């Protein structure tokens, strides 16, 4: 790797500017070039500043850049959809479905599967049931709100949610 400022071949020489390549062949690789590169008053000087990347980086970086572009497009589309009432409702449904799918996927990824003779291990079923119950509880909390400071006289309910019966109560 080169150090210090580089001068181009112009007359008089100018300090070369550092740029970053975003081509598939050299993603993220830095180079220096004449500040007037490919212009009439420039000298077309350029040279690599960084050494070549390993093969893995050449595969990983473009994939990450694609993911970033896809996420940016998704955010843009969701932002546009939020401008209308129908769009707002569909965005809420989309987010709820996506969160539920991610929760189930993470559960499947982190839970060891034990299948013998087409029987699912009891612990796995119990864990999946807990995920469903947790999702339902979070949905209720988000929908009805949860005031952690509002405790009822009985000590068994918060903000109208009766923890003993698992339902909303009229009186707080």
Q: What are the DSSP calls for 130-154, one per residue?
A: HHHHHHHHHHHHHHH---TT-B-TT
Torsions phi, psi of 153, nearest 5?
-65, -30
Q: List beta partners, residue 115.
A: 120
pLDDT tens digit at each of 172 positions of the chain: 456 688 888 888 889 899 988 887 888 889 999 988 878 888 888 889 887 778 888 788 888 888 888 888 888 877 777 776 666 667 677 777 777 777 666 666 655 544 444 444 555 666 666 666 666 666 655 665 555 454 444 444 444 455 455 555 554 4
Q: Do residues 156 and 167 touch, judged by C-beta distance below 8 A? A: no
Distance CA 160, CA 157 (A): 6
């Amino acid at each position: 790797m080169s150090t210090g400022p580089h001068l181009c071949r112009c007359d008089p020489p100018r300090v070369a500017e550092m740029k970053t390549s975003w081509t598939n062949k050299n993603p993220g690789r830095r180079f220096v070039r004449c500040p007037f590169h490919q212009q009439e008053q420039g000298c077309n000087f350029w040279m690599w500043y960084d050494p070549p990347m390993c093969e893995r980086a050449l595969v990983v970086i473009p994939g990450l850049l694609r993911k970033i572009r896809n996420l940016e497009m998704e955010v843009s589309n969701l932002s546009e959809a939020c401008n209308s009432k129908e769009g707002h409702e569909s965005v809420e449904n989309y987010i709820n479905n996506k969160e539920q799918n991610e929760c189930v996927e993470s559960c499947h990824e982190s839970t060891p599967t034990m299948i013998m003779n087409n029987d699912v291990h009891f612990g796995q079923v119990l864990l999946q049931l807990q995920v469903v119950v947790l999702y339902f509880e979070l949905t209720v909390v988000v929908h009805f709100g949860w005031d952690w400071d509002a405790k009822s006289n009985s000590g068994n309910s918060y903000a109208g949610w009766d923890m003993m019966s698992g339902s909303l109560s009229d009186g707080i």
